[in-house]
Structure 1
Amino acid sequence: MRKRNKVVSLLLAGCMAVGLLAGCGSSGETQVATADNATAASTSTGAADSAAPETAGEVDGQINLRAVAFGNNFDVQDMGWRWMMGECYEGLMRDVADENGDRFEYAGAESMDVSDDGLVYTFHLRKDAKWSDGQPVTAADYEYGWKRLLNPEYGYSYSFYLFNVVGAEEYYNGQGSADEIGIKAVDDYTFEVTLKVADPTFQSKLVATPLYPTRQDVAEAAGDQWGKDWTKCVYNGPFAMTNLVEDNSMTWVKNDQYWDKDNVKLNQVNWYCVAENATAATMFDNGQLDVFDAAGDYIAKYDKEVEAGNMQTMTTEYPGTMVLCYEQSEGGKSGLMKNVNIRKAISYSINREEMVSAVYGRYTAAYGFVSPAITLDGTSYRKQALETMKKEYEQYAGDADKLKALFQKGLDELGITDKPEDITITLLSQGSATENQLEREYLQQSISQNLGVKVELNTVGDYQMFANERDNKNYDIFVGGWFSDYNDPLDFLNTMKTGVYDSYGLYSNSEYDSLIDSLTGENDNAKRLEIYQKLEDLLVAQDCGVAPLYYSDKHYYYQNWVKDFYTSSFGASQELYRASVQK
């Protein structure tokens, strides 16, 4: 598998705060961008940008929401910002959430046939699906989108999703043509895909945005602005974007061309870019926001409001795990990170239970890599697989003498004679939000006190600066996270295969790589579980290739006038196409 050139789903602790609230109004036209009128769609004059949003709930059919940052990528094949893609676009299937959890439902497709050998998938598309400009969504749009994903000229990060399709990897590597790929529109409403080997993860990927359809005429007319200029987009989902003020506000309206528009209750979705939790909480308290994703002291505050009947709450697992990453290729700035005992000493010096309580007031302490939200055979993977790191961790946790001895063992193995107090470990981080600062200070204090070393904070202002520091290996450790794109443990474990993601500190183990390869064509879930457990044990417990910190969740509070609000794991993070606002 090739080395992916972008890390779309790598979320960094510290990336949350990307801009400050600079006014929440908008004065753009409420005109849906289509292939015919794209240039007429307004991005707002900014004249009313200083106005606060109307009090939520005053207008039925409108909902006011917060984003910590707006993305700038509207190209579904490039994954982009999934929380927007999952509501304004739609693929063959949709991840739907309700009080019973997540499930997949047919969306762009009405049915699917699978050959007896598991190789040929035939999707029968719904004939009433349309783009926001009224043009039908056809099998040709899926064929173009999927083949565009594989086109080497574009270098899409998620092209590997389709490497098991006949002729796909060959085409991507310049060894075949697009016509030889096992992806074809049989007719306007029949879409056929042929795999090389049966793959139990294939259906799970169908809800991922890289496998959404793309209109060839619209994308090619946009040229190098495709995915960058929202006014050149057309939409096939429940909502369509009508306005954007960079780092400020964004508006979606109900897509009146959507095939299931009669069941979409919201007429408008207003998004406001609010980086700081304190600002968002004030807006939520004032009724200017309908929903608040809370952390820390806000959870206790709003739990009392829920008990009093003043608002509603919902907590769900989310398929993300935050981990401590080490620069393992060259040892980092200190030169120490190649040593497994050094890495373990750093990891074991962090009290996960205390960290999630003191810093966040939420989340679950992690001792494995795969999130509890990931299932295998319909059951949480975490209920089937042991967190094997935990046994060794508990032998060292809270015992500074043992931790220092483990660290010293690593120094001895490296031939380092420096005393711990003369050693500096650099923690790279980014962002100015309170939670980010608390996190890095907690890590700094924990590692320093337990190991007797200096921990220097290298905190940069934006993601690009962070990426430059990371790519130049100007760090020892940083906190990163994986948020899964499909529901299978493989999506977590494959990220650590050699050459897949440089951004995790260049972990590499040939045994690990061989185990990943052995999953190809393996359809027995009992055997897959056994291999997954071996992979996770090798990565986390034996090699300490990454150090798990906590499993993510979604902890929402929402106003009483909001009805049928849910959050899905593999679609839009806030499901709105069934939600409503009622005074």
Structure 2
Amino acid sequence: MKKMKKYLSLILAGILVTGLLTACSSGKTEVATAGGETADTSGTTDTSDTTGAAKGSGDSVQELNLRASAFGNNYDVQDMGWRWMMAECYEGLLRDVGGADGDKYELAGAESIDVSEDGLTYTFHLRQNAKWSDGKPVTANDYKYGWDRLLDPSKGYSYAAFIFNIVGAEEYYNKKGSLDDVAIKALDDYTFEVKLKVADPTFESKLVATPLYPTRQDVAEAAGDNWGKDWKLNIYNGPYVLSDLVEDNKMVWTKNKYYWDADNVKLEKVNWFDVAEDATAATMFDNGQLDVINGAGDYIKKYDEEAKAGKIQSLATEYPGTAMLSYELQNGGKSGLMKNANIRKAISYSINRDEMVGAVYGRYTPAYGLISPAITFNEKTYRSQAEEPISTEYKEYAGDKTKLQGLFQKGLDELGVKTPISDVTVVLLTYGSTTQNQTEREYIKQSLEQNLGIKVELNTVGDSSLFTSERDAFNFDIMTAAWYSDYNDPLDYLDIFRTGVYHSYGLYSNTDYDALLDSLSGLKDNSKRLEIYQKLENKLLLEDCAAAPLYYADNHFYIQNWVKDFHTSSFGASQEVYHTSVSGK
């Protein structure tokens, strides 16, 4: 057996972007608009006797005030829940913690991990001092029950696919096998074991995901249909518990005195305020009513200047997300033209990414690849090892109307379409009512009309459910979309384009692409994996132009000077305050 190190150092950065509207679907986080308002969400539990004594820092009260732009209502960890809260009030085997120098995975619920030489058997040795917020121990059976529950076919959890590589798991989920045949075992109270079908280099990075957190069987079953819906029924095994919640107003976390590392949890209380408008949040931050703010728009420039002057602290990080345009590939869209790769390329190359991120957002990094620079592979950023696929070809066409229209016309000719370019109309599907939403879609519309000479009809809907309805009815040619990764590996981006996986990414299907994905199964050689990743990304974007990447996400946190040790996380709590304290307020 080989021992896992005390932590896995992963050089990546970021936090959940509070300027993007997200919606969970098909086991992943989809963003239906390339830039909009965030749906940050909410937390959890009953507070009776769960608060320990605060670790004082000077004379300051150990209380932190944070902003959420909305509270959610899903407290079921197996359903991914609201990750920004789940990762602070709950804890899995590993914890993802980030900061100015990037992210790292630390041992959390597991004290050590053994991995067999063939990479198939993982044995997790749990902390024997880990307890739930009611004082009962966290045991291997709690992990087994949580993982079994994730696979339960009657519940239909979409993140079950995370552990389909466990022996018997996929068969049980698809009702072709028994739970007894699933290789998830509680060997004793503090030893948890799983066996994989094939070695999987991405498995450890998935262990920070909330669906793989433990769940107490007695509590979940007592709650019945209300499990995950009523926050008062929850118990926690993380640094904090949700002790109060007023919908659309305020949420309060208090320190969990039973947490195994409670001595190093310094905050007594964390207050979350539901503040929908950026301007209101900025005023509260300026007045000292908020201790941390995630900047957006013009506020970034303002707060950067204040940080340079030493008035506040700043923390800018990359975040593993990529905004893009997606094409209707099933039927060719309302126009019937989207099945042609040259037409899709002409649309993609008509958009000036550098100008767009400056004029529309005032932030982000122009994207010429699918996989974010925040994603690492073999302990280095993936983008430092793989050139962005469309960067060279894009430069050949960018800003040249004659070449762009020639590329579009080539596509029309290949389709046998005799309609003049000036008579072509394509439909762009978007949603969101913020000023940034409106500026974004008008910029895309103007770019396509001016560079290609076509007409763009906007199909703008008011919310995500209407957007999904229009998408599923194929009432578009192009739509705004984005992908925010669930684990730290390029595969999480590339696998969303596998045949039959995601409706929201245009129903792309290519048997050669699928075969390349299949060739990664059980492959442990990182040099070969990197080569296949590059082939996949090139085939997807350069050969087939199955999507048009626009920008890579980022975060700009601004922190009052009295706040110490504030961290971020890309795959856990977006605002990681486990070790945070207040001094000199």
Using the size of structure 1 for normalisation, the TM-score is: 0.91
> Match of 2:224?
223
Task: Verify the 8 A CA contact 2:69 2:276 in the aligned structure 1.
Answer: yes
Distance in 2 between the 1:368 and 1:564 partners? Answer: 33
Query: In the alignment, which residue of structure 1 is the partner of 2:580?
Result: 579
Q: 1:565 to 1:255 in 2, by over 3 A?
A: same
Asked if structure 1 preserves the Cα contact closer than 8 Å seen for 2:100 and 2:317, the reply is: no
Q: Which residue of 2 aligns with 1:184?
A: 185
The structural deviation recorded for 1:487 is 0.9
Letter in 2 for 1:11: V
Label 1:5 to 1:81 Cα distance change in 2 as closer, same or farther (>3 A).
closer
Q: 1:60 offset after TM fit, Å?
A: 2.2
SS at match of 1:9: strand
Correspondence for 1:258: 259
CA contact (8 A) 1:14 1:430 kept: no
Tell me by how many angstroms 1:59 deviates.
6.5
Within-5 A mapping of 1:271-350 = 271-350=272-351
The amino acid that maps onto 1:556 is F
Using the alignment, how far apart are the partners of 1:248 and 1:433 within structure 2?
21
Residue 44 of structure 2 contacts residue 89 of structure 2 at CA under 8 Å; is this kept in 1?
Answer: no
Offset of residue 276 of structure 1 = 2.5
| Residue identity matched to 2:382 | Y
The alpha-carbon deviation at position 424 of structure 1 amounts to 2.1
- What residue number does 1:506 align with? 507
Q: 1:246: how far off?
A: 2.6
**Hey, what does 1:75 align to over in structure 2?**
76
Q: Gaps spanning 5+ residues in structure 2: where? A: 1-23, 51-57
1:11 has 2:23 as partner: no
* Contact 1:19–1:273 (CA under 8 A) maintained in structure 2: no
Q: Give CA-to-partner distance per residue, 1:401-424, whole Å, 9 cap, x none.
A: 111111111122222222233222
Q: Report the Cα offset of residue 296 of structure 1.
A: 2.5
User: 1:406 corresponds to which residue?
Assistant: 407
Q: Which residue of 1 aligns with 2:89?
A: 88
| Residue 33 of structure 1 pairs with residue 46 of structure 2 | yes
Which residue number corresponds to residue 197 of structure 2?
A: 196
Q: Do the aligned partners of 1:32 and 1:132 also contact (CA within 8 Å) in 2?
A: no
State how far apart, in whole Å, the 2-side matches of 1:461 and 1:58 are. Answer: 48
1:520 aligns with 2:521: yes
Percent identical pairs in the alignment equals 65
Using a 3 Å threshold, how does the CA distance of structure 1 residues 19 and 510 change in structure 2: closer, same or farther? Answer: closer
Q: What residue identity is the alignment partner of 1:278?
A: A
TM-score, normalising length: structure 2: 0.91
Cross-structure match for 1:474: 475
User: Contact 1:343–1:544 at 8 Å: present in 2 too?
Assistant: yes
Aligned-partner Cα distance in 2 for 1:447–1:479: 14
Q: Is 1:15–1:462's contact at 8 Å kept on the other side of the alignment? A: no
Any idea what the Cα deviations from partners look like across 1:149-189, whole Å, max 9, x if unmatched? Answer: 11111111111111110111111111111111000100110
| Aligned partner letter, 1:212 | Y
SS in 1 for 2:468: helix
Alignment check: 8 A CA contact 2:433 2:462 kept:
yes
- Alpha-carbon deviation of 1:66? 1.5
User: What are the ranges of 5 or more consecutive residues in structure 1 without an aligned counterpart?
Assistant: 21-29, 39-56
Quote the RMSD (CA, aligned, Å).
Answer: 2.1
Aligned partners of 2:35, 2:218: CA distance in 1, in Å?
A: 35
Contact 2:375 2:490 in 1 (8 A): yes
Is this contact kept in 1: 2:487–2:571, CA < 8 A? yes
Q: Number of residue pairs matched?
A: 552
Partner of 2:121: 120
Contact 2:45 2:234 survives alignment (8 Å) = no
| Equivalent AA in structure 1 for residue 180 of structure 2 | D
Post-superposition shift, 1:297? 1.8
Mapped partners of 2:515, 2:455: distance in 1: 38
CA distance in 2, matches of 1:284, 1:202: 40
Say if 1:565 and 1:575, in contact at 8 Å, map to a contact too. yes
TM superposition shift of 1:264: 1.0
Query: What residue identity is the alignment partner of 1:398?
Result: G
State whether residues 14 and 431 of structure 1, in contact with CA within 8 Å, keep that contact through their aligned partners in structure 2. no
